[in-house]
Structure 1
């Protein structure tokens, strides 16, 4: 699919762009990262002709949204401010202000609940006009339907204000509304039915049905051509959402998706070929550490060292200077996210390292979200006991240092004294008792929390079958952390970005991943990453980044490959990484960090601008 090579900094000067997404000022999942990271580049091109639209949820919005005062709203002369006033005069609850992120874009937030009194009529209209059924007891669908109506009302009010201001100099003469995902796309069919003058763009980041099918069909791509979408949507109980997505895709003037991989999905599951592909980027400036990124790696690796010592050294120890930290993260989709392939490769890598006789260990972290009762008390206690060991050692160090200095200054003997004689019996006893109470013969646990479904968990099931359970002789250790990493965690004390910087390699060989931000976030932080050719990011890298392996981006081939073939290729990639020396890994991190710039939104925004030009040209 041909896309432009460049885009002007100022796009469509006579057009007002409204970008609607469920995750505007509402962090839920990956679309939040897309929208938020893209804002600075979009503001650079569109300036005050850009506005975001989303649902208003007070708890989510309070930390990120700053409302304009009544005076500011009343003084506004642009179409957005006038449309806000128009809706408020009609009795609508409209929150208008700024999103407190880089670029500080204008935002309009509409509470879905204000339209609940009209839900019966709105659902009847969906069925009568678009043959979309809606169940009675699904609150998320009710919110989506209500918001779709309110978004339509706002866009129509905006079109009215633009039309009335058409004769005023320097005023926008056209409204372009871009809706992300089915949760906001419900406004599109109603806007088309009412013959709105707005030009409409719809983006699906992953077809809803495709995600469900991929999770449940190991041969999803082979069967895609023969899917009966209506049957499968009813089977998974997502018929309403799928029909809303299809209606948005067919109603938009321009239909887009995020990768060439999802183009096929759209063709077979939504019955429309996308008009453009919009690859995702990042605001790389947020991650830039100039020449500090190597120092940051050392700093945060030291924090991971502390966790590893607490977790493993209670049972046995190994050389941390010869230990590599690998990780994977994301939603718990065992097959889709490639957790199954990663575990198989790790088991093979463990055997290969054992047979090779090389020194060193690999600690692999699985960071995901699963239902759990609590952090494992033994894990917490071990961490607390290690802190006690550290405090004891610090006290001994201080006493020893003071007494050694005095001894050196006052002695006429130039020999180093017996250091043990300089430590009080109290600290000797406390040191011994602290270690005795901490050390154990038990194996270090694989999982850090008490899971709700421990017996049926797929990750735990694999490591138990493969006996990859942190035996002393295992050269690959597993740490399964079923909660997202945060700075308030008593285990790590790091936020996710810091944790990533402290690791050596991110591993994300997904089977189904329409884009995939996790490897891109690694690259932005100077950390090498593994992705797959069934990931939108991996496919994009193969097409646009020459010598990507040399730049620390490894792409596992999964298209038309068996599970065993892909597992062996991933094993080889991990093996080649493990046998690198320290200097080679440092040089590789330098190359990774220097390649991140090409994934910045300043370069990738051109794809969005191309889609907008197509929509404006659509007759």
Structure 2
């Protein structure tokens, strides 16, 4: 794929850029990954003419933000520092410093709560000037309104500090920051304004509640639907930002349609998301890392399943899906249907091997299932007993080898004390059970209303010994502190064989891209921004280990059958073929590096600078 050359530095040499996002130094969702990963490619282009702006939340900023010393702030000559100084002189609580990420960009953080005493007046002004209502019961809206007011003030101070020959660009991400845009236009502050919606707010709600969302999109009455879902204020903020910006952008061709029908403006540009691939690069080590982390997953699988029955781990494939718990939007429903069909095919085929499928998401739970914890603890005791026997046999075997004139291997069982023989036997007797391995690792607050569990029960995917597809539903994010998997999410991904993400609604979709960056084959869909981008830009993506399920204009059954066929083909690969596929995946990751994809942002900034 040919990547167009990046815009030359001279194009922006007279411009300063402020990128505004709710997720600056504040990890909330996917936008955090977009902003953070893009920084290393943005800073070399813009240098000290680039700054990020976000809300200050002490708990989040503590580990992400380093404030500039007072003396350094007072001597700094850049206009961002000058604007912070004048705001502080006017009594505002504003922080200036560095985001502790690769690239170390300059950051301005503003405490939204300092404007809470003005909320009544601010909400009244929003309604009178821009027709945006604001109830008294939504604290996130209060934070957004307060931050929007303070951001407007910052841009006023910054514009006043700009040298006469310099221009100012403001790039706002998502509706939480967009409320600033109509005010800046009303006040005629000299800023070239861009607004990016990563997913229309109303579109996300509609897709979750309408299985034929894309077919009905052109007939949606945005106003009545926004009121129905009780999100009218946020939707009106989003629309005001879209219409008030000089340049309006979104992240994929799929969301262009949403913007046209739900926001009534055609986007000026599409800005596909990338990653800082250098963070994931392991060179020749990525195959070794797969083996290392797969061994850790082996331990969990042994603890979870082997108490009931065993199977050959060398002939077992680990598949996973992850993301927010949006059963339909994230394609969990399609994945489960395909797994049920795959299970039936494998049972009928006579092929060797098993599949263990992990569902990693976040659900309200009361505790880890005590049965799952007990299985893990008992396996640890089995392992401890085996290590003690191993040490005892090793010492005695070494002595016997040194002392013996006989070259035959002695009877190893005779080298184990009766105590350890008895403990070994009793440990295994107390561990083994006829109960089925649990399909879920935690006790949900309300498991009777959980769609994933409901499907497993209806499809009888309950981890019977004859099931060739085993299920592990882990309703909490993977972390090293977990007593079950005990590893970071990225390590878990590297240990798996494939990620499965056939989303129905996914404006971009970082999960399959993160798999690719780690050399793990991934399945996406043509209704995700990432999958659509792959189909448009990469010839024969399957040869690079990226598989795209077709869901546009396809029935659920047709898509489920296509996904089943993809999984069926994958499980039939031998070890050598899987290694070759991981090599192909890892080598394609560079295509999605921000160094290549930042060109789309450059074009959008150039367009904004042309418009007044």
TM-score using structure 2 length: 0.99
Superposed counterparts of 1:271-290, under 5 Å: 271-290=264-283
Alignment-derived partner of residue 55 in structure 2: 55
Distance in structure 2 (CA, Å) of the matches to 1:346 and 1:502:
20
Alignment-derived partner of residue 149 in structure 2: 149
Distance in structure 1 (CA, Å) of the matches to 2:297 and 2:537:
34
Alignment-derived partner of residue 319 in structure 2: 326
What SS does the corresponding residue of 1:447 show, helix, strand or coil? Answer: coil
Distance in structure 1 (CA, Å) of the matches to 2:6 and 2:544:
24
| Structure 1 position 22 matched with structure 2 position 22 | yes
Alignment-derived partner of residue 517 in structure 2: 524
Match of 2:593 among 597, 600, 606: 600
Q: Is the 8 A contact 1:328 1:507 kept in 2?
A: yes
Q: Is the 8 A contact 1:325 1:505 kept in 2?
A: yes
Alignment-derived partner of residue 311 in structure 1: 304
Match of 2:295 among 296, 302, 309: 302
Alignment-derived partner of residue 158 in structure 1: 158
Superposed counterparts of 1:452-491, under 5 Å: 452-491=445-484
Q: Is the 8 A contact 2:40 2:103 kept in 1?
A: yes
Distance in structure 2 (CA, Å) of the matches to 1:73 and 1:296:
44
What SS does the corresponding residue of 2:544 show, helix, strand or coil? Answer: coil
Gaps of 5+ in 1: 168-172
Alignment-derived partner of residue 108 in structure 1: 108
What SS does the corresponding residue of 1:315 show, helix, strand or coil? Answer: coil
Q: Is the 8 A contact 1:10 1:46 kept in 2?
A: no
| Structure 1 position 564 matched with structure 2 position 580 | no
Moved more, 379-388 or 343-352: 379-388
Q: Is the 8 A contact 1:11 1:45 kept in 2?
A: no
1:425-484 superposed Cα distances (whole Å, 9 cap, x missing partner):
111111111111111110000000000110110000000000000000000000000000
Q: Is the 8 A contact 1:178 1:202 kept in 2?
A: yes
Alignment-derived partner of residue 225 in structure 1: 218
Alignment-derived partner of residue 343 in structure 2: 350
Q: Shift of the alpha carbon at 1:44?
A: 1.1
1:324-346 superposed Cα distances (whole Å, 9 cap, x missing partner):
00000000000000000000000
Q: Shift of the alpha carbon at 1:9?
A: 4.8
Give the aligned length.
610
Q: Is the 8 A contact 1:327 1:365 kept in 2?
A: yes
Match of 2:362 among 365, 369, 372: 369
What SS does the corresponding residue of 2:438 show, helix, strand or coil? Answer: coil
Q: Is the 8 A contact 2:6 2:598 kept in 1?
A: no
Match of 1:255 among 248, 252, 258: 248
1:543-601 superposed Cα distances (whole Å, 9 cap, x missing partner):
00111000000000000000000000000000000000000000000000000001000
Distance in structure 2 (CA, Å) of the matches to 1:10 and 1:23:
30
1:296-353 superposed Cα distances (whole Å, 9 cap, x missing partner):
0000000000000000001000000000000000000000000000000000000001
Distance in structure 2 (CA, Å) of the matches to 1:379 and 1:584:
34
1:502-561 superposed Cα distances (whole Å, 9 cap, x missing partner):
000000000000000000000000000000000000000000011100000000000000
Alignment-derived partner of residue 384 in structure 2: 391
What SS does the corresponding residue of 2:543 show, helix, strand or coil? Answer: coil
Q: Shift of the alpha carbon at 1:11?
A: 4.5
What SS does the corresponding residue of 1:571 show, helix, strand or coil? Answer: helix
Gaps of 5+ in 2: none
Alignment-derived partner of residue 240 in structure 1: 233
1:172-223 superposed Cα distances (whole Å, 9 cap, x missing partner):
x111000000000110000000011000000000000000000000000000
Distance in structure 2 (CA, Å) of the matches to 1:39 and 1:113:
27
Q: Is the 8 A contact 1:556 1:569 kept in 2?
A: yes
1:366-421 superposed Cα distances (whole Å, 9 cap, x missing partner):
00000000000111111111111111101100100110111121122222221111
Q: Shift of the alpha carbon at 1:4?
A: 6.0
What SS does the corresponding residue of 2:377 show, helix, strand or coil? Answer: helix
| Structure 1 position 207 matched with structure 2 position 194 | no
Alignment-derived partner of residue 73 in structure 1: 73
Alignment-derived partner of residue 170 in structure 1: none
| Structure 1 position 510 matched with structure 2 position 503 | yes
What SS does the corresponding residue of 1:201 show, helix, strand or coil? Answer: strand
Alignment-derived partner of residue 97 in structure 1: 97
TM-score using structure 1 length: 0.98
